């Protein structure tokens, strides 16, 4: 096995770096007030937990502890890149919304909390 990286002599291709645009607080509330159903619950959960988008979309019902009123969020954004989890306390408002959402979806086959319209 070579000790030196054979690609170290190759120039990197230029990459356009564009800063991500974050919606303003006013824009967030405009979207929030027009959202309905699971979309509104998703936005409220993001607001109350500071969860990243991928953390919310990969959330399973097994990550929701209704008895303990907490949510388990997983991330790879730590050293080593392995999956790490944290339990985040739920506000009473999120607890009520997620409980209602869970009851609405009861009987469906998916364990995913926030699924898309195609069922995944």
Q: What is the CATH number of the domain that holds 78?
A: 1.10.443.10
What is the per-residue pLDDT for 1?
57
Q: Is residue 31 part of a domain?
A: no
Is there a domain that residue 64 lies in? yes
3-state SS, residue 72: strand
12: tokens are 């990197």
Residue 2 scores a pLDDT above 90: no
Neighbours of 101 (CB within 10 A): 20
Question: Which pLDDT tens digit goes with each residue over 62-93?
Answer: 999 999 999 999 887 777 778 889 999 999 99
Query: Is 109 contained in some domain?
Result: yes
Residue 118 has pLDDT above 50, yes or no: no
What is the pTM for the complete model shown?
0.76
Question: In 3D, which of 64, 65, 46, 47 has the Cα closest to residue 55?
Answer: 46
pLDDT at 117 over 60: no
User: Across-strand partners of 73?
Assistant: 86
């Amino acid at each position: 096995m070579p000790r030196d990286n054979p690609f170290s002599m190759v120039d990197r291709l230029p990459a356009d770096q564009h800063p991500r645009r974050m919606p303003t607080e006013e824009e967030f509330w405009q979207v929030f007030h027009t959202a309905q159903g699971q979309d509104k619950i998703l936005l409220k959960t993001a607001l109350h937990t500071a969860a990243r988008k991928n953390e919310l979309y990969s959330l399973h019902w097994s990550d929701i502890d209704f008895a303990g009123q907490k949510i388990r969020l997983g991330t790879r954004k730590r050293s080593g890149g392995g999956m790490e989890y944290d339990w985040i306390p739920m506000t009473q408002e999120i607890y009520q919304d997620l409980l209602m959402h869970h009851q609405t979806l009861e009987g469906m086959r998916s364990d995913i909390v926030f699924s898309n319209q195609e069922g995944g």
